Structure 1
Amino acid sequence: MNCYRCATPIPEKARYCFACGADVSGDTAQGMHPLQRDPELEAKLAEEVEGEFVVERLLGRGGMAVVFLARDLQLDRKVAIKVLPPELTYGQGLIERFKREARTAATLDHPHIVPIYRIPKSGKLFWFAMKYIVGESLADVLEREKSLTADRSATILPQVADALEFAHQHAIIHRDVKPANVMIDSRGWVTVTDFGIAKAVGLQSLTSSEAMVGTPYYMSPEQCAGKKTLTGASDQYSLGVMAYQMLSGQLPFTGVATVDIIKQHCFDPPPPLDVLRPGLPQGLVKVVERGLAKVPEDRFASVTEFAAAFSAAAGAGATAPPIVRKPAPPRPRAAAPPRRARRSILLGTLGGLATIGLVGALVWVWKGTAVSVAHLPAPSSAQVDSAAATPTPGSDSAATQQLDAQPAATLTPPPAAATPVETTRTLKSAPQPARLTPREARLFLRGVSEGATVTLDGRQVRDSVLLLRAGRHEVTVTKPGFAPWADTLWADAGDQLARWAVSLPVAPARVAVPESALRAQVPPPESVLRIQVQPPARIAIDKVDFGEQRTLVHTVAGGASHLISIVPVRAGYARKDTTVTPRPGDTVTVRIRLEGSP
């Protein structure tokens, strides 16, 4: 199975593509994925709903369900019928999850939640009819437009939040909020779909253990950790990922393996939004960052509060409401000393400053004397390079590092005596701190898969967050079987940069094949024969007996003639033969009613 967007091989039961992030589940995306017809399932569904609905065509399919467009015969309206394929009905968990989706959505009567029209009590198939939304999913919109403006995002987000808040008030957590489950019609009206893995608070899980459920790209940290009890804050985090994606056109966290994405959700900060989308109001950036807080208590009180803050910041550049934390107790304030005592403190301070100045002057004279010693050996080239790369004890950066490592009120005096050999030892490079200094920039490198090699300016590195000095830098990512990725960037002091390393698989070399051999390899175009017999009889196509059936759906070669033989199994009826020649790609329905024998 390959991804429809980037053709990357993906597991058969995958709900998303690890390479490009495309949703490949197809549970609710109407018309999002390339359609693979299933004439047999369509015929069984048509027989199941006969008299109530007329099945027209396939809308979408995925690993869990198939959606068909149908027409309600009684109300004369179009509906979407979601059906569980028969091959998946052997697992009781999937059946119960499918039923729960219908029951959950049916209990939530809200204008932004897809309504359920019909749930059958019994039958050979598990299906339900719901509203057919003439429009496209938010995933389709982002696939086409990549990113949205802040104003347009502010019209979508509150509608989704309103639907989720209504579900939360009824103690239901969606747990799979993502663009593929948000439908938008031609008027801009938003409908939330796919409550297949929604869970009522306090309800027993359908899985044997509290396993991770959801789409990893949009899962909250507590959802990634498999916590038993989730709140509406989990859906708020997923909505925050959607908001981040709508504004930047990128997912905050990506990776090839699920464990990589989960690790980033739990521990890594997202790349700065204002770096990916310069010009966004800072208030809007802070709102999204708060919605993506790792701790649920640090997010907004509800999804509607998050959406309201988002809309306000997008419309007026408002500042995000700060995170309310318990204030620290005030420090006791010492009483002011008497006047005479203050005079003593002032004199002592001036005396201390004078002493420090005298010591500094002695150290400066001592350094000059040490350097002018005639028998001092000339430093090697390695020592000179180390001296250029390492700040001397008298430089500003060295003093800053020394003060950072010690309490503010403590001053370390210089050594009383030192030899030229000790002066040479100070030229050895000391380990640099990992924190960002005012002279450095930070680079967030995303999308690096396991087994890839990252080099910065020709030097191999192991971290995905790199500290850069101001200037020009070259970053490369290589991996066997993938095309190398390289980028050249300029960094200024204090910059926060983000780059996505996108490496496409290298296609294998093509082998020249003669044109005659290609023609022989191309199978003839197929057609579909749908044969309905009354009363049931044995059906044979081109002398191949398919046994006694009432309806038979079979694929045959298009453009060729095929012999259909109907052999009665009941006495009093005569055999009937007919020939059909379907055009390539056509579906031909043949209805045969047996007549009595003379």
Structure 2
Amino acid sequence: MAKSTLLARFKRGDLISSEFEVLSLLGEGGCGSVYHCRWAKNPTKEVAVKLLDNANDLPRFIREAKLLRKTRHANVVRLLGSGFHDQRPYIALEYMDGGSVRDLMDQRGKLPVDEAAWILVQAISGLRASKTVHRDLKPENLLLARGTSKQLRIVVGDQTKGPVVKVADFGLARMIEVGDTRLTNSGQVMGTPVYMSPEQCRSTKNVGMKTDIYALGVIFFEMIVGKPPFDANNAYDIMSMHCNDEPKFPRMDKAARDVCARCLEKAVGKRYPSLLALERDLRAIAGLGEPAPDTQGWRIAMIVIIGLGFLAALVWVLRDRLGIVLPF
């Protein structure tokens, strides 16, 4: 069925799955159409309902739902429910009343360096919590909840008075394990060209956390400068620029320039070693303190330490009490 027909099916006042009253069409995401709805069982609650448009995208749709179901974090869009409407899958998400970082940039143009840094600090916090490689980071996928503020006024370091940034659209995301820095896929080029890393453009089959770091560098550059470092009239030229051209930096804050330059390194090994390291420098630019460590990494470290301690005790008991010498 054509996408236009699917979109035309839902208009203001229509019900999705008998519980979501359509208010408007918000747009089209990576693999579905997103509607602004009122929740029938809680009429004061507004939600965003994403419906699958193409059966070929079902794996991506399921992936996003599973990932959001297991991720609960202030900087990740929250999953409220899922189901089917006329055999068409949907997921219900919290409604972000502040639009996206793209909308913010369209309204304000360039952003102050500290505000841009604070936006990415929040996004990185969500990415770290999700334990994924997102692979499609862009301003449109960084959504804003207004918080207690009626205006979209960024309050650096405060997620109660100013807008909260939440990462959305995990349709291309892949789960990673602690210590993984690369991720293998089928080799198909996926992503949005303006924000794609050189390795993503080349489809080397190896994209990982540092691919997201590159995209964050593009977003940071664009928020500060008002345009991305590489742009052209077609996707091929943009990807060629990512692979072959060096970014041209206008006059800008030195610390911000250094962050952008390190994120935008062509060689994966020259970029930040982790999201945590990037967050640390962004926090410094925003005038904030140190980021919280990765708790899972600490848990694993403690398990290793406890395990080594137990092994040492076992060796001592076997050798000194029982006279058994292990061959190591």
Query: Separation in 1 of the partners of 2:198 and 2:90?
Result: 33
Q: Deviations over 1:253-280 (max 9, x none)?
A: 11222221112111211002xx2xx3x3
CA shift in 2, pair 1:43/1:158, >3 Å:
closer
Q: 1:311 aligns with which of 283, 287, 304?
A: 283
1:59 CA displacement: 2.4
Query: Separation in 2 of the partners of 1:230 and 1:37?
Result: 33
CA shift in 2, pair 1:37/1:141, >3 Å:
farther
What's the counterpart of residue 37 of structure 2? 70
What's the counterpart of residue 295 of structure 1? 267
Return the index of the structure with the highest Cα Rg.
1
1:247 aligns with 2:224: yes
1:158 aligns with 2:121: yes
Query: Separation in 1 of the partners of 2:200 and 2:238?
Result: 12
Q: Structure 2, unaligned stretches of length 5 or more? A: 147-161, 178-182, 289-328
1:112 aligns with 2:75: yes
1:73 CA displacement: 2.8
Residue 117 of structure 1 aligns to a residue whose secondary structure is strand
Q: Deviations over 1:528-571 (max 9, x none)?
A: xxxxxxxxxxxxxxxxxxxxxxxxxxxxxxxxxxxxxxxxxxxx
Query: Separation in 1 of the partners of 2:66 and 2:60?
Result: 10
CA shift in 2, pair 1:146/1:84, >3 Å:
same
TM-score, normalisation: structure 1: 0.41
What's the counterpart of residue 181 of structure 1? 141
What's the counterpart of residue 55 of structure 1? 22
Query: Separation in 2 of the partners of 1:149 and 1:218?
Result: 21
Query: Separation in 1 of the partners of 2:13 and 2:198?
Result: 42
CA shift in 2, pair 1:60/1:246, >3 Å:
same
Q: Letter of the aligned partner of 1:260 in structure 2?
A: D
Alignment of 1:47-446 (within 5 A): 48-50=16-18, 52-61=19-28, 64-76=31-43, 77-85=45-53, 88-89=54-55, 93-120=56-83, 123-167=86-130, 170=131, 172-186=132-146, 187-201=162-176, 205=185, 209-272=186-249, 275=250, 278=251, 280-313=252-285, 315=287
Q: Deviations over 1:317-367 (max 9, x none)?
A: xxxxxxxxxxxxxxxxxxxxxxxxxxxxxxxxxxxxxxxxxxxxxxxxxxx
CA shift in 2, pair 1:54/1:282, >3 Å:
closer
1:36 CA displacement: 11
Q: Letter of the aligned partner of 2:74 in structure 1?
A: P
Q: Structure 1, unaligned stretches of length 5 or more? A: 1-11, 14-34, 317-598
Residue 217 of structure 1 aligns to a residue whose secondary structure is helix
What's the counterpart of residue 9 of structure 2? 40
1:312 CA displacement: 1.4
Query: Separation in 1 of the partners of 2:29 and 2:128?
Result: 28
Q: Letter of the aligned partner of 2:243 in structure 1?
A: C
1:131 CA displacement: 0.5
- Contact 1:37–1:58 (CA<8 Å) still a contact in 2? no
Q: Letter of the aligned partner of 1:116 in structure 2?
A: L
CA shift in 2, pair 1:44/1:120, >3 Å:
farther
- Contact 1:160–1:191 (CA<8 Å) still a contact in 2? yes
1:137 CA displacement: 0.6
Query: Separation in 2 of the partners of 1:299 and 1:95?
Result: 33
Query: Separation in 1 of the partners of 2:187 and 2:234?
Result: 20
What's the counterpart of residue 322 of structure 2? none
- Contact 1:158–1:304 (CA<8 Å) still a contact in 2? no
1:123 CA displacement: 4.5
Q: Deviations over 1:243-302 (max 9, x none)?
A: 000111111011222221112111211002xx2xx3x33232112101111112111121
Query: Separation in 1 of the partners of 2:262 and 2:121?
Result: 16
Going by fraction, where is helix more abundant, 1 or 2? 2
Query: Separation in 2 of the partners of 1:249 and 1:43?
Result: 35
How many residues in Structure 1 have an aligned counterpart in Structure 2?
266
TM-score, normalisation: structure 2: 0.73
Q: Letter of the aligned partner of 1:61 in structure 2?
A: E
What's the counterpart of residue 444 of structure 1? none
Q: Letter of the aligned partner of 2:263 in structure 1?
A: G
